Amino acid sequence: MDSFRKKFIEEATELIDKLEVALLDLEKNPEDETLVQQVFRIMHTLKGNSAMFGFELIDNFTHNLETIYDQIRNNELELSKPILDVTFACVDHLKSMLDEQNYNDPDFKTIHSGLVEKIDAIINPQKPEGKVESNSKPEAKGVTSTYYILFEPNADIFKNGTNPLYLLDELCSLGDYKVFAHFNRVPQIAEINPDECYTYWEVLLATDKDESVIHDVFIFVESDSTLEIQKLGEENLVADQTFIKEVENLAEVQKDVGLVAIQRLAKVAISNINKRKAEKFTKERIAVKDKTASSIRVSSDKLDTLMNLVSELVTTQARLSLFSEQNNIPGLNPIVENVQKLTRQLRDIAFSIVLIPIENLFGRFQRLVRDLSAELNKDVEFIVEGADTELDKTIIENLSDPLMHILRNSMDHGIEEARVRIANGKPAKGKIVLKAFYSGASVIIQVIDDGAGIDPEMIHAKAISKGLVLPDKKMSKKEILDLIFLPGFSTAKKVTDVSGRGVGMDVVRKKIYDIRGEVEVDSEKGIGTTITIKLPLTLSIIDGLLVSINKSPYVVPLSAIDKIYAVEKDKIYNTFNNLITLDGSQIPFFSLRKEFDLEPSNEELEQVIVVNFEDESVGLVVDYVIGEYQAVLKPLGKHYKNHDIFSGATILGDGTVALVMDTNKIIKMFAIGNKE
């Protein structure tokens, strides 16, 4: 390469010298157009040669310089002394550019960029600081179009040394193709002149290249042949089997297919393709629509308002039902029933709107466990199950802190150090499972670790030493484990950074109670601990059973109810051990009249509502069962805060207030009361 680089430099030096002479002439005769032409031509040649020999810098530099003289010769620009001054400076610079060793010299660079700016300023006076846009054109359009090309060479095409097959080859390299060669003009063998071309071709070409690229293929022969290039459509018709088959059939029947026939077929094919596309598009649109529908964002204020309104509607509907019952107006009842049905549906939908998947919360915990793993140097595998379980967003918001605390406990106190685990025959890597699932109308969230577990004896001893329980009191394991939820109890021997932030399990329990949930602990020493949180699906409205005790209405959550029995009064009041036999099985029961310190009722039949309590059935005896009722939960005022056997109150249709029972707490409280 060096030898002709040298030659280029020789030639370029000559050109630059010539340029200098021409410029000096031009300065003396600025009106001489032939001199302008000469200057332009020399620059053009210099530019072309430098491009060919890889002197890109000269190429780019001369390109803009040449543009000045192009504009002058086209009378777009007037030759002036400043332009000539710049050009002379450029000539000097061009000379130094021939030596590539100068390229990294700082002075060279300064001169170069200075001149480039000056040239640009002359070409684009309106934006002196602007760079000249690159003149590269977008090459491919990216859209595939199908073209019909008829190539009919003149008979004497071979004369100039043209081989049409090479051109067809080149054409086909542009994309997908289908070539039809026509031999119908080939004469009888005796009449054939081998110097003449009798064949012509029809080509279907699907390409993303511009039409001009197709023209370029035939650039040498365009004047010696019939060439027709027609766009059939912006589709890849060559890939359309039906269309190609039809064209092939036509080609067999007819001597040639012809543009008109092909265009007709193409039209049909394109309309079919468009139909398919439209179908697909519609489907996609629907799919997109579905997607957007499922992810509309609404401010939580609006949701709260909606829930409030639905609550009011539920209450009003209850009043309407009551009114209809009390006033026997013909035709009103069906309307009331319909309103009831619609209200229920509306309520359910409003509910589901405020439910969000719990994974929003669980994601945070992944991070927590990861960070704690590093901090405590405990390798822990963290598994999340049921992250798609949905819960009321208010509940989820309030669940974050308690769960965080429980997880910290598991990491800090639960999971042992690797060497301890190995010594106990456990895998070195600990495991924590965070699990959420539905259970009836509740959601259960569990944190299960395979750590050291809780030692009941230690808990018991500690509770005694802290004066939380009496030393001689006999306690079940479950009762002992529940001690960890007492205020002032901390199992940590010493306060660490991670847990023990002055927040104990008592706070966890309180927070969960606040969202009407329950928390339980189960643990096996050396095997692991499971913390179970049970939560209602939602906070504000529940399906309940309206009952009455001593003419006062109460609501029992339907979710807790298993069965209802009507039982004779004697069977209730004449037992000593509070057990009743129902459907062949003995069930413990509480008479609410009795527990509420009321006189026994005068009715012959009492209603026993059997509810689920910690995997057991327990009966609650009430006077009457009035019926199902959608209860809008209203919090009890602060004066009743300690009456936690009621989770709230609801307003009935006639305006009376009914207390909503928390069956679990009622049973717990009365069970303790009866024992003592």
Minimum separation from the CB atom of position 209 to other proteins (A): 14
Of 75, 101, 135, 223, which one interacts with other proteins (CB under 8 A)?
223
Query: What is the DSSP-derived secondary structure letter of residue 102?
Result: G
Asked if 48 is part of the footprint of other proteins (rule: CB under 8 A), the reply reads yes
The stretch among 182-190, 216-224, 245-253, 280-288 that binds other proteins (CB under 8 A) is 216-224
Question: Position of tokens 């307003």?
Answer: 651
Closest among 538, 519, 557 to 391, alpha carbons compared: 538
Asked if 61 is part of the footprint of other proteins (rule: CB under 8 A), the reply reads no
**Which residue number, 54 or 82, has a Cβ lying nearer to other proteins?**
54
Strand partners, 442: 439, 536
Asked if 356 is part of the footprint of other proteins (rule: CB under 8 A), the reply reads no
Q: Which of residues 99-158 bind other proteins (CB under 8 A)?
A: 158
Residue 595: which region, alpha, beta or left (left: phi > 0; alpha: psi -120 to 50)? alpha
The angle at the Cα of 204, spanning 199 to 207, to the nearest 5 degrees, equals: 130
Question: How far is it, in rounded angstroms, from Cα 14 to Cα 34?
Answer: 20
Minimum separation from the CB atom of position 194 to other proteins (A): 11
Q: Which of residues 168-207 bind other proteins (CB under 8 A)?
A: 169-170
Asked if 161 is part of the footprint of other proteins (rule: CB under 8 A), the reply reads yes
Closest among 197, 150, 151, 145 to 175, alpha carbons compared: 145
Closest among 486, 482, 555 to 522, alpha carbons compared: 482
Asked if 38 is part of the footprint of other proteins (rule: CB under 8 A), the reply reads no
Q: Based on the number of CB atoms within 10 Å of its own CB, is 121 exposed (0-12), middle (13-18) or buried (19 or more)? A: middle
Asked if 219 is part of the footprint of other proteins (rule: CB under 8 A), the reply reads yes
Minimum separation from the CB atom of position 55 to other proteins (A): 11
Minimum separation from the CB atom of position 41 to other proteins (A): 9
Q: Based on the number of CB atoms within 10 Å of its own CB, is 345 exposed (0-12), middle (13-18) or buried (19 or more)? A: exposed
**Which residue number, 85 or 156, has a Cβ lying nearer to other proteins?**
156
Sheet with 541-549, strands from edge to edge, namely: 624-632, 541-549, 552-557, 657-661, 646-651
**Which residue number, 10 or 628, has a Cβ lying nearer to other proteins?**
10
CB 656 within 8 A of CB 641: no
Question: How far is it, in rounded angstroms, from Cα 274 to Cα 281?
Answer: 10
Question: How far is it, in rounded angstroms, from Cα 64 to Cα 58?
Answer: 10
The DSSP annotation for 323-349 comes to HHHHS--TTHHHHHHHHHHHHHHHHHH
Asked if 8 is part of the footprint of other proteins (rule: CB under 8 A), the reply reads yes
Minimum separation from the CB atom of position 12 to other proteins (A): 9
**Which residue number, 161 or 330, has a Cβ lying nearer to other proteins?**
161
The stretch among 160-168, 316-324, 365-373, 470-478 that binds other proteins (CB under 8 A) is 160-168
Question: How far is it, in rounded angstroms, from Cα 147 to Cα 127?
Answer: 43
Asked if 160 is part of the footprint of other proteins (rule: CB under 8 A), the reply reads yes
Asked if 51 is part of the footprint of other proteins (rule: CB under 8 A), the reply reads yes
Compose the 224-253 pattern: x for residues touching other proteins by CB under 8 A, - for all others.
Answer: x-----------------------------
Of 103, 166, 438, 640, which one interacts with other proteins (CB under 8 A)?
166
The angle at the Cα of 93, spanning 90 to 94, to the nearest 5 degrees, equals: 85
Asked if 220 is part of the footprint of other proteins (rule: CB under 8 A), the reply reads yes
Q: Which residues are catalytic?
A: 44, 66, 409
Minimum separation from the CB atom of position 360 to other proteins (A): 57
CB 200 within 8 A of CB 182: yes
Of 167, 204, 350, 587, which one interacts with other proteins (CB under 8 A)?
167
**Which residue number, 12 or 318, has a Cβ lying nearer to other proteins?**
12
Minimum separation from the CB atom of position 192 to other proteins (A): 17
**Which residue number, 54 or 600, has a Cβ lying nearer to other proteins?**
54
H helices of 106-221, where?
106-123, 164-172, 211-217
Minimum separation from the CB atom of position 52 to other proteins (A): 5
The contact set with other proteins (CB under 8 A) reads: 1, 3-4, 7-8, 10-11, 44, 47-49, 51-53, 158-163, 166-167, 169-170, 217, 219-220, 223-224
